[in-house]
Structure formats: C-alpha cells, structure tokens
C-alpha cells in the first residue's frame, strides 16, 4: 500500500506538505498541489482510514447492533430497517458497522463497538423497558438515536423516531369494530418491549369508544416472530371460540395467527379477521393479503441516520423526538374486501 511517505519521497516534498496538499490547504502553492495530487493519483494512493481515525478521533462510521436470533427465521422488519439505514448512511458519507450479539451477554457487543472507539454514533432499535443499552450509551456520552420511544411510564429523554403505536392499533381495532366485530382478541408483544403498552392502549381505547368490554381473556402474548403468533392465536381461539377477529401487533405474528386460524379449519377474513402491524413486504403477498398498519420503515431508517449525523456534528435537532402517524392499509385479511 502506498502511503504519504512514499508520495513525499517521489515528489521530494515532506509528508506534511503532501498531506496538506491532498487536503487542499491553501498554504501550499497551486503548482505543487497539482503536482502532488497527480503523483498521488498515479501511484494509486488511498489514505489509510485506520490511521486517520486514530489521529483525528473520528471514524465516519455509524454502529448498529442486530439483536440475537434464536431461530432460523429472518426478521423482516429489522432487515428492512437495516437496509434503509445502510443506504442513508452512505448518502450522508458514513459507513455502517454492523455487529451481532453473540453470547447471552448483550452489552459486550456495545462495549466493544462503542468503548473501542469504532464508531461516532450508534443507532439502537427495538427499545425495551428500562433498557440497559440506553443507560450505557447515555453514560458514556456517545451520540445515539433510537428507533422506538420508551414505555409510557418511563422517561423518553433521548432522541427517537417512532410510529404512533397507540394510534395504529386503535385504527386497526376500530376498523374491525366498524366491520361489525364485537369479540376481538389481541396478540401483544412481550411485556418488556417498550411499545407493548402503547399498542395495548390503542386496543383498549377503541373498545372503550365503542362501549365494548375489555376482557383479559382476549389478550395474549407472543414473541415477535411468526411461531409466537401461531401459538398465541391457537390458544386464544381454542379458549375463546366466540372471537371473530384478532389484532396482531406485528406482521410476523399476524402471519402466524393466520396459520393458526387455518389449522383450526377456519378461514381468514371470512371466519376470523386478522390485522397486523409494520407492513413488511410479505404483508402484501400473504394469503389473503394482510390488512395492517404501515410504518414507513425505509423512511424511519433514513431519518434516524439524519438525526444521528446532526448530533454527531453537534448541530441542534429541530425535532429530537418524532412520532410518525402510521396509516391503516386495508387488504383482505380483515374481510373488508373480497379477495
């Protein structure tokens, strides 16, 4: 690899001058600058990013840690978000350092990435209740943004972007009620996920507004994956045969719910209406197509990156905390349209 020293030797200038010439400082004459640049180009010089990072104490890199996967199934929401973040980062002149949690010790990845000075800032996804990761990032004082605000009873004293879960689930539930459903079940995410209470509140609000009773027995929980939705829905439907609709709190679980419905010999949309949340790309192609609450995943990724870059550059944020209004996408799984 050719380095500054090599260019200095072949041009006869000092390392300092070569460095400053390439950086475009104005205390090097136009003639020598051009000469140095030409030589550097012809020698195929590429600055060593690591050395530069060490000296200038910045990396032009954003870190993100992907959650541990305990199943073979892919997390479509997360990978769409990841791609969105990747493109946005590149667009803003940043690279993306992706690290996966390996062991049970979830903090070690963060400590390695952040404490090791490998990134200028971090994006954190899927906030949890009293999230230790957020506490850590606050403590070390590194710039970070979060996809998803804190639980309602905790302070969201950090920059975030989030879809309005309550409003989204409210819209979905109300839609089901308007279609005539009176016995509506819900499959919630685990309680330690920060957005779970919001989604429950949206469900409750819609019931309340329609003078329908809120019954504990209609509420179950599943991990955010398909299998979790399937298990939860199976239990729900066998114990509560009067149900005619199920609100699932993300699309992956909604697909599982649909599986469970069919495995019980019922028809999705006709016998049991199903709705999801996220509008991952699968949703549109599901059988029947899934009525769901759309989050603009790619846009969220993009805005997260833009916020983070602002923070890194110590520029003030005009909207440090953004709540996006999700939109209800009505397809066939709720029975509103004929397929």
Q: Which residues bind its own copies (CB under 8 A)?
A: 1, 44, 46-51, 53-54, 59, 61, 66, 69, 72-76, 78-80, 82-83, 86-87, 89-91, 95-102, 109, 111-113, 115-118, 255, 281-282, 285-289, 298, 339
CB 85 within 8 A of CB 305: yes
Compute the radius of gyration of the chain from its Cα atoms. Answer: 26
**59 part of the interface to DNA, by CB under 7 A:** no
Q: Nearest CA to 113 among 66, 149, 65?
A: 65
Buried b (16+ CB within 10 A) or exposed e, 262-288: eeeeeebbebbbbbbbbbbebbeebeb
Instruction: Count the site residues for DNA by CB under 7 A.
Output: 28
Rounded to an integer, what distance in angstroms lies between the CA atom of residue 95 and that of residue 299?
Answer: 18
Instruction: Map the footprint of DNA across residues 98-117, applying CB under 7 A.
Output: none
- Cβ closest to DNA, residue 38 vs residue 215: 38
19 binds, among its own copies, DNA, none (CB under 5 to 8 A by kind): DNA
DSSP notation for 163-201: E-HHHHHHHHHHHHHHTT---EEEEEPPTTBTTHHHHHH
**208 part of the interface to DNA, by CB under 7 A:** no
**34 part of the interface to DNA, by CB under 7 A:** no
Stretch that binds DNA, among 53-61, 70-78, 96-104, 139-147 (CB under 7 A): 53-61
Residue of 39, 43, 56, 122 that binds DNA (CB under 7 A): 56
Rounded to an integer, what distance in angstroms lies between the CA atom of residue 261 and that of residue 233?
Answer: 7
CB 323 within 8 A of CB 159: no
Name the burial class of residue 104, with classes exposed (0-12), middle (13-18) and buried (19+) by CB atoms within 10 angstroms of its CB: exposed
Stretch that binds DNA, among 19-27, 70-78, 162-170, 256-264 (CB under 7 A): 19-27
Residue of 9, 34, 38, 47 that binds DNA (CB under 7 A): 47
**78 part of the interface to DNA, by CB under 7 A:** no
- Cβ closest to DNA, residue 12 vs residue 265: 12
Neighbouring C-beta atoms of residue 71, cutoff 10 Å: 11
Strand partners, 321: 160
**17 part of the interface to DNA, by CB under 7 A:** yes
In 3-state terms, what secondary structure has residue 153?
A: coil
What is the bridge-based pairing of β-strands 327-329 and 292-294?
antiparallel
- Cβ closest to its own copies, residue 152 vs residue 289: 289
- Cβ closest to DNA, residue 45 vs residue 94: 45
Strand partners, 187: 220, 248
Stretch that binds DNA, among 17-25, 64-72, 244-252, 288-296 (CB under 7 A): 17-25
120, two tokens: 């200028």
CB 247 within 8 A of CB 219: no
Least distance CB 58 / DNA (angstroms): 9
Rounded to an integer, what distance in angstroms lies between the CA atom of residue 66 and that of residue 282?
Answer: 21
**129 part of the interface to DNA, by CB under 7 A:** no
- Cβ closest to its own copies, residue 97 vs residue 219: 97
- Cβ closest to its own copies, residue 215 vs residue 299: 299
263 binds, among its own copies, DNA, none (CB under 5 to 8 A by kind): none
**29 part of the interface to DNA, by CB under 7 A:** yes
Alpha-carbon torsion (180, 274, 235, 238), positive or negative: positive
Which parts of this chain interact with DNA (CB under 7 A)? 1, 3-5, 12-17, 19-20, 22-23, 27-30, 32, 45, 47-48, 51-52, 54-57
């Amino acid at each position: 690899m050719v380095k500054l020293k090599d260019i200095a030797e072949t041009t006869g200038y000092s390392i300092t001058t070569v460095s400053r010439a390439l950086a475009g400082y104005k205390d090097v004459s136009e003639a020598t600058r051009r000469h140095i640049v030409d030589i550097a180009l012809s020698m195929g010089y590429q600055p060593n990013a690591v050395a530069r990072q060490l000296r200038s104490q910045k990396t032009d890199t954003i870190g993100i840690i992907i959650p541990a996967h305990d199943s073979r199934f892919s997390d479509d929401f997360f990978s769409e978000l990841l791609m969105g973040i990747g493109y946005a980062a590149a667009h803003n002149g940043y690279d993306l350092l992706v690290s996966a949690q390996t062991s049970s010790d979830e903090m070690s990845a963060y400590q390695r990435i952040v404490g090791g000075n490998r990134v200028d800032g971090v994006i954190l996804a899927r906030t949890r209740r009293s999230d230790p990761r957020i506490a850590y990032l606050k403590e070390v004082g590194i710039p970070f943004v979060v996809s998803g605000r804190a639980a309602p009873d905790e302070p969201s004293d950090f920059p975030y972007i989030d879809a309005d879960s309550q409003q989204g689930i409210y819209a979905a539930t109300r839609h089901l009620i308007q279609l005539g459903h009176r016995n509506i079940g819900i499959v919630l995410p685990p309680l330690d996920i920060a957005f779970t209470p919001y989604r429950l509140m949206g469900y409750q609000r819609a019931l309340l507004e329609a003078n329908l009773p809120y019954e504990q027995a209609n509420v179950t929980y599943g991990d955010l994956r398909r299998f979790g939705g399937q298990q939860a829905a199976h239990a729900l439907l066998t114990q509560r045969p009067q149900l005619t609709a199920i609100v699932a709190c993300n699309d992956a679980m909604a697909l599982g719910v649909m599986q469970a419905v069919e495995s019980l010999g019922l028809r999705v949309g006709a016998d049991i209406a199903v709705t999801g949340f996220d509008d991952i790309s699968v949703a549109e192609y599901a059988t029947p197509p899934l009525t769901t609450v759309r989050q603009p995943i790619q846009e969220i990724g993009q805005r997260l990156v833009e916020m983070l870059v602002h923070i890194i550059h110590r520029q003030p944020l005009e909207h440090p905390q953004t709540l996006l209004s999700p939109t209800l996408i009505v397809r066939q799984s709720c029975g509103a349209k004929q397929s």
